[in-house]
Chains A and B, each alone.
Chain A
Amino acid sequence: MTLQEDTRTHPFQKTLIRNYQAPRWDEPLIFELNAPGHTGVVSNSDGHSAITKSAPENSVQRKTAPNLPEIGQAQVLRHYLRLSQETLGADLNVDIGQGTCTMKYSPKVNEKFAGSSLSADMHPLQDVSTAQGTMEIIHNLQDYLKEISGMDQVSLQAGSGSAAIYGAVKSVQAYHEAQGESTQRDEIITTIFSHPSNAATAKTVGYKVITLYPDENGYPDLEALKSVLSERTAALFITNPEDTGVFNPEITDFVDAVRQVGGVTFYDQANANGLLGIARAREAGFDMCHFNLHKTFSTPHACGGPAAGALCATDELAPYLPGPQVVRTPSRFEWSEQGKYSTPDIRPFYGVVPNLVRAYAWIRALGAEGLRQVAETAVLNSNYLHAELSKIDGLSIPYASGEYRIEQVRYSWQELAEETGISTGEIGARMADYGFHYWTSHHPYIVPEPMTLEPTESYSKQELDEYIATLKLTAEEARQDIDTVKSAPHRSSIHTIDQEATTDPETWATSWRAYRRKYLGEQRSEPSTWVAPANLPIPQRAPKAHHR
């Protein structure tokens, strides 16, 4: 057949189902590239005998070189490029399967700003007169986030969303300390569909954590909240919409109830992408909120950071925020002094500045109208996905039946699991065979056999249609050919892992060094001077668990 012969369906026309094959380099561990005498880079060194014999440094100089591999430069590069190919980042992948993570497009042009020497070679302690460019960016980003949240002040110091939540818990603690109520107010209330870090940071700071569960609407009953409120309540940490995508329309009643007992209200806005320019923390009456700049504001997710968190507060809570802020004086931008009640710095210096630069540039590229278009399109995409996926047999959508959701939905494969014996983890592994990823849910699985999808504003209808068609096919495969699904992945970089070894102290191998000792008979790798402490208490351990 020539190219001209078939004009109806030309031979290169693709179906919606991709015949994907992940790169499989079978790349050894970097230690196996070791070749004595090779070197990857020569730094600005004088050679290793540069210290004079009389210098005090002689007494602490190491006698042998550290035990690192010796590898040429191109060999190091090639190794890591192969590993990068075996990684399915959002630039390559229709990455709508990591619901709650807002895997939107991270514009390439913003990399130029963050990586420019004018940004990257700045030292945090250099004189402010030489840092006015970055400081103006941070100042204006603070202003934009104030406007988007309706809050009065913003701290950009946190290194991530969870770090911002931790900063919020410490601010709550400082606020109650200033009122002389910190001993009395020892409880923080959150919900099971809020991110685990709301509960976990509160616990780390020393609060008793009360977790509310949803009723049939998908959010907690107001009476359930009222029943746990008291003079011991320090704060409510709540998300809206929660991970289900269901918006809690009674949120102001929640906020009012907590305020009536003297508690602080914190709005976890990790899921803010569908609300930009639509609804704000201010109008709902919250005292504080936070944004994840790596979610809503497009900075790349970077395999799990560096990220950035923006912690916002009303004037009442602002004196307790961590970290300095940029303030505008008549002549220039300055860093503010820490106040008497401020939460101590939660991070060195001013925050993850490259991500502040990227987030600023993203907002400026879109403007007010563009931000609203982002929210509207993210919600349009999510409801389109919702409408199309509800046609798949075996997939259900718990809670709030018939309601439209905001920018994400937590689906359930429970019916398919009951019918075929497949699990959501296995369906996810099969999706990898088609070049897709999806995330189930945080633990515990309140929605059974969960799958959480968030299409953001970034993906085209064609891309969403491909994802939908592949999910449909996978569900069908579970009925027709369950062995293929259960033994997936088949076209991934590797095959099914035996996870059991990593749950047992006798068999886990936390590093190549530990592996050599445990499995290759290399001599005990701890220095001979280390003796495991005797008589340590043996606490109760949680039951063994896996990521998926």
Chain B
Amino acid sequence: MSRTHPYVPNASPQTKQKMLDSIGVETVEQLFSSIPQKLRLERPLNIPEGFTSEAKLVRHMSGLLGNNKPTTRALSFLGAGAYPHYVPAVCDEVNQRAEFLTAYAGEAYEDHGKWQALFEYTSLMAELLEMDVVNVPTYDGYQATATALRMAGRITQRSKIVCSTAVVSAKLRRIESFLQGALEIVWVEPRKETGLIHTDDVIELLDDTTAAVYLETPNVAGIVEANGENIAQAAHSAGALLVCGLDPLSLGFTESPASWGADILCGDIQSLGLGLHYGGAHGGFIATHDDERFIYEFPSRLFGLAPTRKDGEIGFVDVAYERTSLAMRDQGVEWVGTAAALWGITAGVYLALMGPHGMRELGDTIASRTRYAIDRLAAIPGITVHHVNSPHWREFMITYDNHTAAEVNAKMLDDDIYGGAEAGDLLTSERSVGADGHSLEASSIVCVTELHSTDDIDELVVAFERIMA
């Protein structure tokens, strides 16, 4: 390399020499003397030469990314855990601020703003969820849910989870894997008639070993649970907790499951202004009430508000830090590390921008467009929409009489429509969502958000009519 790389300033011969002189060695090689020769790589790495200019790198990357066709250049009805919602420009602006983007583990003094922004994220979430305690985000909704259930096991010192099957299958496998050896899982399926979890089916599975009941609302098929309050009472009567998974954005439309009496809420914050990023933009939240028996079982950082020595000034510090693996290694609760803090700050910005009425309008809009799409698709011969009489939000499941979902999506791709997510990839069985007797291979889960106008939905209908004809 003939010139000093812009990212490596002290590699310049003049600077390097000064530093070697200060250390008192002649070559950089001497600094590696503790690494035995037999461990050395004796050849250059087989990696392409670096680009000689930033412009060439940009050209290369633009060429590669140009082989993508993002959802903005098609009409997409894909959801299933990565939801297309509008990302306000201010969310991107704050997310890209150099200070936030490049800060890390700074203390309460040098990074006061980061601590406040994260405390505000947890506080805004606390208002939305109607819970007093929200963690600094963990990796994603899968981790949040798996941890929430392990928390329930530790809190109750019991050994069994009654878990709804109406959850995306990759997440269920993740939960099973995380609970392996710690908690047993028994499954409760939604009723065929409604797609809803029935309280009686839960009661049948409850006993004095049950740590918690877990269900999601809206569930993987978009159905909003209606029996939450009864299920919460049943769980509590058996000495178990109710853990609910939800998308916080849905609370623009429905009440928080906290109002049912749920004990722990959990899920993903991707919908709150994070964008899609090919499935790379996730953060997990866990929320409880302000009860020490719950708080001491969080593995995540929890930020609290505290006074400083100046009157009227506030600062932010860790709450009950001794819970964490950072303080106690394997004697701490699970583990905590770098996860998704900046996504948390961004989600806080989103909630501050939306405000109470923005959230409510958005929630209602998504509900009404989902219902519009359900009604239009249900009228197409050759398509069955499942559980049309149950409340839905953002997603619903359909089955084709004479086609597989893969065939339908392949045809739609010719018209630049990304059809619904293929149910065979998302569900463990048709019974897991109360679609007994229908083929998963012939089913899709369609996602509709505020970004879909009724014209967009009409275009989907026309495409379906053409394929089904």
Q: Give the distance to chain B from A481, nearest Cβ to Cβ, in Å.
A: 18
Q: Please tell me which one of the listed residues A125, A277, A303 contacts residue B421 in the complex, with CB atoms under 8 A apart.
A: A125
Q: Give the distance to chain A from B440, nearest Cβ to Cβ, in Å.
A: 15
Assess whether B187 is interfacial by the CB under 8 Å rule: no
Interface string of A91-120 (1 = CB under 8 A from B): 111010010010111110101111111111
Contact A547 B318 (CB under 8 A): yes
Q: Give the distance to chain A from B293, nearest Cβ to Cβ, in Å.
A: 5
> In whole angstroms, how far apart are the Cα atoms of A116 and B275 in the complex?
12
Interface string of B98-111 (1 = CB under 8 A from A): 11111111111111
B111 neighbours in A (Cβ, 8 Å): 86-88, 303, 437
> In whole angstroms, how far apart are the Cα atoms of A159 and B336 in the complex?
12
B108 neighbours in A (Cβ, 8 Å): 494, 497
Contact B99 A529 (CB under 8 A): no
Assess whether A134 is interfacial by the CB under 8 Å rule: yes
> In whole angstroms, how far apart are the Cα atoms of A346 and B315 in the complex?
35
What class of interface size applies to chain B in its complex with A?
35 or more
Contact A87 B112 (CB under 8 A): yes
Closest to B103 in A: A89
Assess whether B203 is interfacial by the CB under 8 Å rule: no
A132 neighbours in B (Cβ, 8 Å): 67-68
Assess whether A345 is interfacial by the CB under 8 Å rule: yes
Contact B170 A22 (CB under 8 A): no
Q: Please tell me which one of the listed residues A26, A77, A353 contacts residue B94 in the complex, with CB atoms under 8 A apart.
A: A77
A543 neighbours in B (Cβ, 8 Å): 322
Contact A127 B110 (CB under 8 A): no
User: Which of the candidate stretches B159-167, B323-331, B457-465 sits at the interface with the other chain?
Assistant: B323-331
Known A-B contacts A279-B41, A384-B22; A494 and B109 likewise in contact (beta carbons under 8 Å)? yes
Contact B113 A85 (CB under 8 A): yes
B241 neighbours in A (Cβ, 8 Å): 533
Contact A494 B57 (CB under 8 A): no
Known A-B contacts A41-B353, A510-B133; A497 and B361 likewise in contact (beta carbons under 8 Å)? no
B47 neighbours in A (Cβ, 8 Å): 144, 147-148, 363, 367-368, 371
B361 neighbours in A (Cβ, 8 Å): 43, 45-48
Contact B105 A304 (CB under 8 A): yes
Assess whether A349 is interfacial by the CB under 8 Å rule: yes
Contact B101 A489 (CB under 8 A): no
Assess whether A290 is interfacial by the CB under 8 Å rule: no
Q: Please tell me which one of the listed residues B173, B336, B352 contacts residue A71 in the complex, with CB atoms under 8 A apart.
A: B352
Assess whether B142 is interfacial by the CB under 8 Å rule: yes
Interface string of B330-352 (1 = CB under 8 A from A): 11101111111111010011011
Q: Please tell me which one of the listed residues A71, A199, A366, A381 contacts residue B50 in the complex, with CB atoms under 8 A apart.
A: A366
Q: Please tell me which one of the listed residues B154, B280, B308 contacts residue A352 in the complex, with CB atoms under 8 A apart.
A: B280
Contact B418 A123 (CB under 8 A): yes
Contact A495 B313 (CB under 8 A): yes
Contact A88 B99 (CB under 8 A): yes
Assess whether B389 is interfacial by the CB under 8 Å rule: yes
Assess whether A30 is interfacial by the CB under 8 Å rule: yes
Contact A71 B355 (CB under 8 A): yes
B251 neighbours in A (Cβ, 8 Å): 62, 66
> In whole angstroms, how far apart are the Cα atoms of A70 and B124 in the complex?
12
User: Which of the candidate stretches B70-78, B376-384, B429-437 sits at the interface with the other chain?
Assistant: B70-78
> In whole angstroms, how far apart are the Cα atoms of A497 and B304 in the complex?
11
Q: Please tell me which one of the listed residues A101, A107, A460 contacts residue B10 in the complex, with CB atoms under 8 A apart.
A: A460
Assess whether A44 is interfacial by the CB under 8 Å rule: yes
A63, A131, A367, A379 — most chain B CB neighbours (10 Å) = A367
> In whole angstroms, how far apart are the Cα atoms of A514 and B302 in the complex?
13
Assess whether A11 is interfacial by the CB under 8 Å rule: no
B30, B142, B368 — most chain A CB neighbours (10 Å) = B368
Assess whether B469 is interfacial by the CB under 8 Å rule: no
Main secondary structure of the interface of A (DSSP, over half): loop
Contact A30 B120 (CB under 8 A): yes
Contact A510 B132 (CB under 8 A): yes
Contact A122 B68 (CB under 8 A): yes
Contact B72 A121 (CB under 8 A): yes
Contact B40 A370 (CB under 8 A): no
Contact B280 A349 (CB under 8 A): yes
Assess whether B247 is interfacial by the CB under 8 Å rule: no
Q: Please tell me which one of the listed residues A56, A111, A136, A547 contacts residue B107 in the complex, with CB atoms under 8 A apart.
A: A547
Q: Give the distance to chain A from B148, nearest Cβ to Cβ, in Å.
A: 14
> In whole angstroms, how far apart are the Cα atoms of A272 and B86 in the complex?
39
> In whole angstroms, how far apart are the Cα atoms of A357 and B60 in the complex?
12
> In whole angstroms, how far apart are the Cα atoms of A112 and B59 in the complex?
12
What class of interface size applies to chain A in its complex with B?
35 or more
Known A-B contacts A107-B7, A514-B290, A529-B232; A301 and B104 likewise in contact (beta carbons under 8 Å)? yes
Contact A387 B305 (CB under 8 A): no
Assess whether A6 is interfacial by the CB under 8 Å rule: no
Contact A347 B142 (CB under 8 A): yes
A57 neighbours in B (Cβ, 8 Å): 224, 253, 367-368, 370-371, 391-393
Residues 338-387 (chain A) with a chain B CB within 8 angstroms: 343-357, 361, 363-374, 376-377, 379-381, 383-384, 386-387
Known A-B contacts A84-B113, A118-B65, A498-B307; A547 and B102 likewise in contact (beta carbons under 8 Å)? no
> In whole angstroms, how far apart are the Cα atoms of A85 and B116 in the complex?
12
B279 neighbours in A (Cβ, 8 Å): 123-125, 348-351, 353
User: Which of the candidate stretches A205-213, A258-266, A409-417 sits at the interface with the other chain?
Assistant: A205-213
Interface string of B360-403 (1 = CB under 8 A from A): 11111101111100000000000000001111110000000000
> In whole angstroms, how far apart are the Cα atoms of A84 and B10 in the complex?
29
Contact B8 A374 (CB under 8 A): yes
Contact B337 A84 (CB under 8 A): no
A497 neighbours in B (Cβ, 8 Å): 108, 306-308, 315-317
A544 neighbours in B (Cβ, 8 Å): 320, 322
Contact A51 B330 (CB under 8 A): no
Q: Give the distance to chain B from A200, nearest Cβ to Cβ, in Å.
A: 4
Known A-B contacts A119-B65, A284-B39, A306-B342; A46 and B57 likewise in contact (beta carbons under 8 Å)? no
Q: Give the distance to chain A from B268, nearest Cβ to Cβ, in Å.
A: 8
Contact B319 A498 (CB under 8 A): no
Contact A443 B101 (CB under 8 A): no
Contact A50 B367 (CB under 8 A): yes
Closest to A208 in B: B330
Contact B68 A147 (CB under 8 A): no
B425 neighbours in A (Cβ, 8 Å): 125
> In whole angstroms, how far apart are the Cα atoms of A351 and B340 in the complex?
13
B154 neighbours in A (Cβ, 8 Å): 539
Assess whether A223 is interfacial by the CB under 8 Å rule: no
B253 neighbours in A (Cβ, 8 Å): 57, 60-62
A114 neighbours in B (Cβ, 8 Å): 277
Assess whether A126 is interfacial by the CB under 8 Å rule: yes
Contact B354 A41 (CB under 8 A): yes
Assess whether A196 is interfacial by the CB under 8 Å rule: yes
Q: Give the distance to chain A from B294, nearest Cβ to Cβ, in Å.
A: 9
Assess whether B226 is interfacial by the CB under 8 Å rule: yes
Contact A372 B70 (CB under 8 A): no
Assess whether B186 is interfacial by the CB under 8 Å rule: no
B291 neighbours in A (Cβ, 8 Å): 532
B70 neighbours in A (Cβ, 8 Å): 117-123
Q: Please tell me which one of the listed residues A77, A137, A373 contacts residue B8 in the complex, with CB atoms under 8 A apart.
A: A373
Assess whether A222 is interfacial by the CB under 8 Å rule: no
Known A-B contacts A123-B82, A170-B177; A527 and B278 likewise in contact (beta carbons under 8 Å)? no
Q: Please tell me which one of the listed residues B28, B65, B307, B310 contacts residue A379 in the complex, with CB atoms under 8 A apart.
A: B28
B360 neighbours in A (Cβ, 8 Å): 48, 62, 65-66
Contact A459 B9 (CB under 8 A): yes
Contact B332 A200 (CB under 8 A): yes
> In whole angstroms, how far apart are the Cα atoms of A514 and B64 in the complex?
49
Q: Give the distance to chain B from A399, nearest Cβ to Cβ, in Å.
A: 12
Contact B50 A370 (CB under 8 A): yes
User: Which of the candidate stretches A226-234, A244-252, A313-321, A472-480 sits at the interface with the other chain?
Assistant: A244-252
| Subset of 10 A-B contacts with CB under 8 Å | A86-B111, A115-B92, A131-B68, A302-B341, A364-B61, A443-B328, A502-B317, A510-B319, A511-B122, A547-B107
| Complex A-B, nearest 4 residue pairs according to Cβ-Cβ distance, in ascending order | A349-B279, A367-B50, A124-B279, A40-B353
Question: 4 new A-B pairs (CB below 8 Å) besides A98-B104, A305-B342, A542-B331?
Answer: A116-B65, A123-B279, A304-B104, A513-B132
